[in-house]
Structure 1
C-alpha cells in the first residue's frame, strides 16, 4: 500500500475547469456508447420478424458491445489518471449516471426508427489501424487473444445452440463445451508465462478486490442487459404495444438509475467507503428482478413500473462500485489494465446472460405453446416473432399464445433463472471488495 501511495504522489492531477471539460467530454462519449448499446433493444422483435428467427437474439448484444468496451474503459482510465483518488467516485458516478440517459433514450430512438423509419438505414463505417502489425502483435498479446476469443465464441455458441439447434447431449454441444473449457486452461498457462505484459495479468486477477469486482460487474451488467433486451419483447408480445411505446414503458428501469448512481457516488465520496453501497445495491436489484417473475398479461401499470424502479435503483447504486474499488486498490500504473478487466467482465457477463436468456426463452416458448395453445403451429409462431402474433394465430387462440409468451419471458426474469439470481449472487461477490477507505494523504492536489 505504501508503494501505491508513493507512486500516486508522483502524479500531478488536473483541477478546475480543465478537469470539468475533460469529464464533460468523457461523459458525452459514454452516453453515446450506452445509447448505441441500447438502441437495438426495442427493434429486436421487428428484426426477428424480418429474418424470421428469434434464435439470433443473443448475438445482437454480443456484437454490439465490442466497440463499447474500448470507449468505456478509455473513459475510466483517463479519469483515473487525471483526478485524485478521493474525487474519482464522484466523477465516475457522474459519467455512469449521465451515460444512463443514453441507455434510456436508446430504446425510444430504436423504437421510433423501427416503427416510423427503418432499422436497416444504419451506416457501416471502417476504421483504420495506424500501428504496424509487429507493434500490435506484442502490444496486444495476440497469442493470448487467439486463445481467449475462440473459447468465448465456442462457449456462447454452445449456450445458444443447446436445446434449439442441437440437443444438449449432442456431440456438437458437448464438443463446444469441452473445447471452451480446455482452451482457457492453456490460456491461463500462457498468460502466467507472459507475466505483466499479458492481456489478462494473472497476478492482478488473483487479488481479491479485483476478482470480486470483476464478478460483481459481470453479474450486475448481465442482469441489466437481460432486462434491457427481453423486457421490450414482453411489452410488445404480451402487452401488444408498438416498438416506440415499449421504449417508453421500459424508461423506469433507466431513469431510476440516474439519481441513485449520483447519490451513491456522493455518499462514497463523503463517507470514503464503497462496500456498503455495493451490497445494498445488489440486494435491491435482486428484489426488483425477482418481483418481475410475477409478470402476467394482466399485470397493472403500477406493478411493472414499481418493479422496474426497484431494480433500476439498485443497479444505479452498485454499477460503478467495481470500477471505484479496483482503481482504489491498484497502483496508478495498473489502473488501465484493472479498469479494462472490469469492463471486459461486464461485457462478457452481458453476452453470457443474453445468450442464456435466449436459450431459456426459446425452449420455454416451444414447450409453453404446446401446453397453453396446442392447436397452433408452434414452429410458425416462433418464426413469425412477437410483433405479428395477431396475424400468425387465430383470434380464439391469441390469449393462449400470449400466456405462453408471458410464461417463456418471465423465465428470464424469475429468481430461479438469471436476472434475480445474478443480482443475488453479486451480493456475496461484492463482499470480497473489502472495507477500504478511499482517503489518501500523500496524493498531490493542486487545489492548494
Structure 2
C-alpha cells in the first residue's frame, strides 16, 4: 500500500499548481493504461488464427511425443537386431539426458529471444536427431541420434506451452493446455499401435522417419501463422560475456557432465562393474563435486541463474516440481517396461503389445479433455492432481502383481487406472507456473517443472535397468542354472521364447520366462514408490484459481494481485481526483 499512497501524494500537489501542471500528469498517466490494456486484449489471436496456432502446437507436441512414446514398443526389436539389451536404458536416458540438461537453458532462451524462431530452431534440431536415429547402423549411433532429438524436443515442449501463455488470457489456458494434453494422449494412443505396425510390417526405422512429414507441416504452420510480439529486452545487442551471463552458460556447462556421471554410475553399478569398483566410486565423486559447484554458481548468479532463487522460494513451484519429478518418473518406467512384460511373459509381438497398451493411452485421451473442462469450470487444478496421483499409485500397486498367467481383466484394469491417473494429473502441474507467475518468469517456471520431468525419466530409467538386469541374473542362476545369462540378455526381449527354444528344453525355457517376469518386480516397486510420493506434491500445491480473485482474466497469484493493485489503484484514484 505504501507505493499507492506515495503516488497519490505525488500527484495531488501537481494538480494544485495550476492548470498546466495538472494537465500534464493527467495526460501522461490516464491514457497509457487504457491504450495498453486495449492493445493487450487486441493482441490475443481469435477465430481461425487462434485455431491454426492451436493446431500447429498440437502437431508439434504430437511430433515430439510420438518420438518419445513410440520407442517403447520398438525397443525389444531394436535390442534383438543390435544385440543390445544392456542399452535399453540408454535409448530413453540419452533422449531424456539432453532434454534434462537443456530444459532450463531453453527457458532462458525463450525469455530473452524470439519465441517463434527459438521454437522453429528446436524443431529443426529435433528433425536432425530423427534422421540420425532412422539411419543408425548400430546401437551407439542410435543413442547419439536420441540425444540430438531430445535436445530439440525440449525446445518444442517448452515453446508450445509458452506460446499458449502469450496467445490467450490465463482463464482460457486450461482449455488449450488440455488440448495439448489431448494431443499427447492421441499420440500415446497412436504410438504403440503405429510403432507395432511399423516394427512388425516394415521396420522400426520408420518409427523415426515418420517425424519428417509431421515436422515439416508443423514448421510451415508455425512460420506463416504464429506471430508473437517481442517483449522488451528481446533480441537486444549484447556482448558475448553478457550473453553468457544471461544464458548461464557456465551453469549449464557444469550441469551436463554432472548428470552424465550420475547416469553412468547408475547404469554400470552392480551390472557392468561392482558398486565398490573405482569407476563407480570415481563417477559418484565427480557427480557430487560438480553438483556442489553447480549449486554454488546458481546461488551466486541471482536472476541470471538457470534456476532463480525467487522461484524456488515459492511453495507451489517446489510442490509442482516434486510432483512432476515423481509422476513422470513413474510414467517413463511403465512406458518402457510394460511392453517388455507383454512381449516376454505373454509372447506378444510388438504389434500385439501396442494394441494392449491402448488400455492406458485411450484412458489418457479421455481424461485429458475432461480435466481441462473441469479446471476451466471450477478454476482449480489441485483436485485433479490429487485424484490423478492416487489413481496412479493404485495402478502401480496392481502392476506389482503381474505374473506370467495374469488374467486379461487384471492387467487391463491396471492399465486403464494408470491412464486415468496420468490423464487427470499429467498436465495440471504445467498450470502452476502459468497461473502464479507472469512475464518471463512463466518460461523459467515452466522450464523448472519440465526439468524435473525429464530428469526423473533419465534417472529412473537408468535405475530400473540396473535393478532389472541385476535381478534377472540372480533369477536365472536360481531358476535356470544351465542357461547362459549373458546369452539370454543379449537375445533381447522380442521373440525370447522362440530364441530360447532353439537351445534349451521346454522346462528351462519356462524358467527363463519366469525369471524375466520376476526381474520386473523391482521395476514395478519403483513405480509404486514414485506414484505414492507424487501425492505429497499434489497436497502441498496451493489452491490458486485460474479465474482470479474476481473471476476475471490475468490476476491470479499473490504476485499478480499485488501488481494489479499497484497498477490500477493509483490510476483510478488520480482519475477520480
Give your verdict on TM over 0.5. yes
Which segment drifts farther, 337-346 or 433-442?
433-442
Q: 1:46 corresponds to which residue? A: 77
State whether residues 288 and 311 of structure 1, in contact with CA within 8 Å, keep that contact through their aligned partners in structure 2. yes
* Alignment match, 2:51: 20
The RMSD of aligned alpha carbons is: 2.6
Q: Distance in 2 between matches of 1:253 and 1:406?
A: 20
Q: How many residues align?
A: 435
Q: 2:314 aligns with which of 196, 201, 207?
A: 207
User: Which residue pairs with 2:545 in the alignment?
Assistant: 437
CA distance in 2, matches of 1:333, 1:368: 52
Cα deviations by residue, 1:317-339 (Å, 9 ceiling, x for unpaired): 00111110121111222101111
> Could you say which residue in structure 2 is the equivalent of 1:405?
516
Partners of 2:189 and 2:365 within 8 A in 1: no
1:358 equivalent in alignment to 2:465: yes
Q: Which residue of 2 aligns with 1:57?
A: 88
Distance of aligned partners of 1:106 and 1:132 in 2 relative to their CA distance in 1, 3 Å threshold: farther
Closer, same or farther: CA 203–298 of 1 in aligned 2, 3 Å: same
Could you give the per-residue CA deviations for residues 27-59 of structure 1, whole angstroms, max 9, x where no partner exists? Answer: 121112111111111111111122223221111
Specify the alignment match of 2:67 in structure 1.
36
Q: How far apart, in 2, do the equivalents of 1:409 and 1:136 lie?
A: 47
Deviation at 1:347, TM superposition (A): 1.1
State whether residues 34 and 100 of structure 1, in contact with CA within 8 Å, keep that contact through their aligned partners in structure 2. Answer: no
> How far does residue 376 in structure 1 lie from its aligned partner after superposition?
1.3
Residues 37, 132 of structure 1: CA spacing in aligned structure 2 closer, same or farther, 3 A cutoff?
farther
On the 8 A contact 2:382/2:541 being kept in 1, the answer is yes
What TM-score does the superposition give when structure 2 sets the normalisation length? 0.71
Q: Kindly provide the CA deviation profile for residues 147-203 of structure 1, in whole angstroms up to 9, marking residues without a partner as x.
A: 111111111111111111111122211221222122122112212222222222232
| Cα gap change, 1:367 to 1:98, in 2 (>3 Å) | same
Distance between the aligned counterparts of 1:101 and 1:406, measured in 2? 29
- Secondary structure of 1:277's counterpart equals helix
> Which runs of structure 2 are paired with 1:9-408 in the superposition (5 Å)?
11-12=40-41, 13-65=44-96, 66=150, 67-120=152-205, 122=208, 134=240, 137-389=244-496, 390-392=498-500, 393-394=503-504, 395-408=506-519
In 1, are the aligned partners of 2:389 and 2:535 still within 8 Å (CA)? yes
Which runs of 5 or more structure 1 residues have no equivalent in the other structure? Answer: none
1:413 and 1:420 in contact (8 A); partners too: yes
| Alpha-carbon distance between aligned partners in 1 of 2:541 and 2:478, rounded to the nearest angstrom | 46
**Which string of whole-angstrom CA distances, capped at 9 and with x for unpartnered residues, describes residues 218-239 of structure 1?**
1111111111111111111111
Partner Cα separation in structure 2 for residue 119 and residue 181 of structure 1: 38
My pick for the range that moved more, 221-230 or 173-182, is 173-182
Q: Which runs of 5+ in 2 are unaligned?
A: 4-32, 97-149, 213-234, 556-577
**Aligned partners of 2:424, 2:444: CA distance in 1, in Å?**
24
Structure-1 separation of matches of 2:185 and 2:94: 20
Q: Deviations over 1:273-310 (max 9, x none)?
A: 12121111101100001100111111111111110000
Question: Cα deviations across residues 79-121 of structure 1 (Å, max 9, x unaligned)?
Answer: 1111111111121011112222112212222222222222346
